[in-house]
A and B are shown apart, each in its own frame.
Chain A
Amino acid sequence: MTARAALHRGIARAWRATAWYVRGLTGESRYETYLAHERIEHPHRPPMQRTQFWREYHAWQDSHPQGRCC
């Protein structure tokens, strides 16, 4: 493997790692998590669509507020 290819691979890896982390931190990956959860726990029912999932999630957040510290 040439040095240039190694560099490209390194950059690609760092980019993927950053994207993975940011998606986790913002909570964007929540829907994919939900899909994985449904696949294992409830394989016989169709999972919610993305739009519907987020609507339900926000409705759930309304009734389960999370504090933020000072």
Chain B
Amino acid sequence: MSTQADRPTQERQLPPTSVHEGRTRWTPGRIALWAGVALLGAIAWTMLAVVRGETVNAIWFVFAAVCTYLIGYRFYSKVIERHITRPDDRRATPAEHLANGKDFVPTDRRVLFGHHFAAIAGAGPLVGPVLAAQMGYLPGTIWIIVGVVLAGAVQDYLVMFFSMRRGGRSLGQMARDELGRFGGTAAIVATLLIMIIITAILALVVVNALGESPWGVFSVAMTIPIALFMGAYLRWIRPGRITEVSIIGFVMLMAAIVGGGMVAETQWGQDVFTLDRTTIAWGIIVYGFIAAVLPVWVLLAPRDYLSTFMKIGVIVALAVAIVWVRPEIEVPAFSEFAGGQTGPVWAGSLFPFLFVTIACGALSGFHALISSGTTPKMVEKERQTRFIGYGGMLMESFVAVMALVAALSIDRGIYFAMNASAAATGGTIEGAVAFVNGLGLAGVNVTPELLQGTADAVGEESIVSRTGGAPTLAVGLANIMQQWIGGPSMMSFWYHFAIMFEALFILTAVDAGTRVARFMLQDSIGNVLPRFKDTSWRLGAWICTAVMVAGWGAVLIMGVTDPLGGINTLFPLFGIANQLLAAIALSIVLTIVARRGTWRWLWVIGLPLAFVSVVTITASFLKILSPVPAVGYWANHMAFRDALAAGEQSFGTAGTVEAMEAVVRNTAVQGTLSIIFVTLAIVVIATSVLAVVRAWRSREIVDREDAAVPSRRFAPASLVATKEEREIQELWDALPSEQRPTRGHG
């Protein structure tokens, strides 16, 4: 920890760079305001958890979430700020003292909040809650809202803050610094493997959404020429005019969605664009490789602009629509599957599997990769990390709550017909009707007309077994949006609008993830073969990209061809991988905070770390050791092996010997991955706990922060400037312009 002596001093000729923060004066107005927020939140939670009518209105989800976030942000994150991070605005951030006009750029806090949010929020918070709706609405709602306040936002905030204090170091570099060579290497290998799994499963979600859907395939395929056009426009026609080209691109995108509907009605359109899922998977693999080796301006950057536009637009529209329409939710608080472990959407008991099914939105380890490195290099003032890190994650959690509401608002029969694997429904309407009605769910009675009618309304051939969460969310979103704008005739547009929106940012995540992973791989191989360290070496780049694409491509093909359904067997692996990364990130943070000597408040990190460790390690062990074939990979593996050995021609949902062999192969891969993940995570957690114990014994304070540099600029800390901050801002504004600091954007 920096001592008083090396604390930066304020320059005399400049106005203050930091607000002296005393205790808040609790005026009656302020007390009344926060009491009101707490009361409204309490009423909303009571409506959700205690009052059990026939239905519950979606508006209570919104109130429960927003009030809890406000209280968490105002009180809990302040506690973390005061006792753990202890930011000092007299210190210059890396953005200020390393400013280079490229990555180190002091950026207005509100703009950076948007940037950071666009980088962290993707398909994850939309898909997980949809699948978790199987258990009823309450478990998922509690985990998303309470989890984010106590775990997810804490992780994002702390990783961002400590990375900022270290000149914007990446998570991998911090792991090496804090956990030593062994623990650090384990953390980097785990990160690479986790990136492969996450990319594969995101790609699987897109494949499932586009399979046998000529409309979807056409409109998503059109994003390639649109992005190419935008890239060329920015390169040669009007360089740097991003807003302008984004608007043009957005209009073209809407035309592609509308056009997709027309194309899908023609015979040639159906012939050309009706593709089976394996073909689409290969298409995405080839596309992923090409997109990752092309220069960013060709495809990645322009698609990212479109994706940001769509993301923010859809989220705002959905929030307004939910408040406007206020749909009634008929799903019970706890469903019939909450007590068992053989739900049709995904197998496993509520604990621990609900907590891995919903990763993004409550706690997402992947965010630690974004919160370290990119965003910390742009933070203008230290105290703003609370707003950007903690606040940004609360925002993502809200997206997850809305996704949950959208999934809950559709008929339960439709929900299960869409999300039960094709292995269960046979992929036919009759099969789905028999299967869903056979589940014995109270008040659920699907008819063939209902399923066909819904498919027709959204402009699809069929909605049976459209697993992966994206199509379900799209139906829910379309159903809510059409009640706000356009009526039933607009349903198919909104459905494909939602599919487009998810496909866009999954493709961006696939492409960007492959690039990041390629650099990590080159860096790792470079330790053995130094040639690979040179990232501009074309052949090395191609080899490493090919290795990464082959890695996620293999898992993707495995998921697409899995006789057991794909998503239901692979999604837990995605959640476990993501949460293990969270455990790794929290371990690193725990070590840093302990070595700073902050013992009294170490529980703030210890609590989520302990929870997520227990959840993921239990889930991993169940996936490895559970005797229930639907849950345990190896139990399933052995069951199919024995069946093959006994000479059976079909077993369970696998109808042929080849399918049985595929199950044996897939479960072996999934089981092995589970073992590797959990081993690496245990190594990292144990290394971190040892480091904490050593720090406790020696009581020696170790801090690898960069040296403090005095700040020469000022900006408010949170969204709205306080009175003191406005007064100081006026002093700065009164300076002659050459003395005023330049801001990345402002």
Contacts and interface: CB of A to CB of B under 8 A. Distances in A.
Interface of A: 19-31, 33-34, 36-41, 50-51, 53-55, 57-70
B122 interface: yes
Given A31-B240, A41-B99, A24 B360 contact: no
Q: How large is the interface on B (under 10, 10 to 19, 20 to 34, 35 or more residues)?
A: 35 or more
Contact of B295 (A24, A25, A40, A62): A62
B745 A68 contact: no
A70 B196 CA distance: 12
B103 A37 contact: no
A51 B370 contact: no
B508 A68 contact: yes
Nearest to A53: B240
Contacts, number: 135
B102 A65 contact: no
A25 B118 contact: yes
Given A21-B111, A24-B107, A68-B512, A34 B366 contact: no
A33 B745 contact: yes
A69 B509 contact: yes
Contacts of A55: 235, 239
Interface in B84-110: 99-103, 105, 107-108, 110
A33 B287 CA distance: 34
B533 to A, nearest CB: 12
Tell me what chain A mostly uses at the interface: helix, strand, loop, or mixed. helix
Nearest to A35: B101
Nearest to A51: B239
B519 A70 contact: no
B124 interface: yes
B240 A22 contact: no
B308 A25 contact: yes
Nearest to A42: B101
Given A28-B243, A40-B742, A50-B240, A69 B122 contact: yes
Contacts of B242: 23, 26-28
Nearest to B510: A68
A67 B513 contact: yes
B239 A70 contact: no
Nearest to A63: B535
Contacts of A33: 101, 105, 742-745
Contacts of A61: 296-297, 301
B497 interface: no
A40 B509 CA distance: 36
Nearest to A39: B742
B726 interface: no
A23 B364 CA distance: 29
B515 A29 contact: no
A22 B745 CA distance: 11
A70 B297 contact: no
Contact of B512 (A19, A30, A38, A66): A66
B110 A67 contact: no
B202 A70 contact: yes
A58 B232 CA distance: 13
27 contacts: A21-B110, A23-B242, A24-B108, A25-B111, A25-B312, A26-B246, A31-B240, A34-B101, A36-B743, A38-B101, A39-B742, A54-B239, A64-B103, A65-B296, A65-B515, A67-B119, A67-B516, A68-B304, A68-B370, A68-B505, A68-B512, A68-B513, A69-B120, A69-B370, A70-B123, A70-B202, A70-B360
A57 B118 CA distance: 20
A20 to B, nearest CB: 8
A51 B233 CA distance: 12
B714 interface: no
A55 to B, nearest CB: 8
Nearest to B359: A70
Contacts of B386: none
B637 interface: no
Contacts of A66: 119, 370, 373-374, 512, 516
A64 B150 CA distance: 32
A61 B304 CA distance: 13
Interface in B222-238: 234-235
A22 B242 CA distance: 10
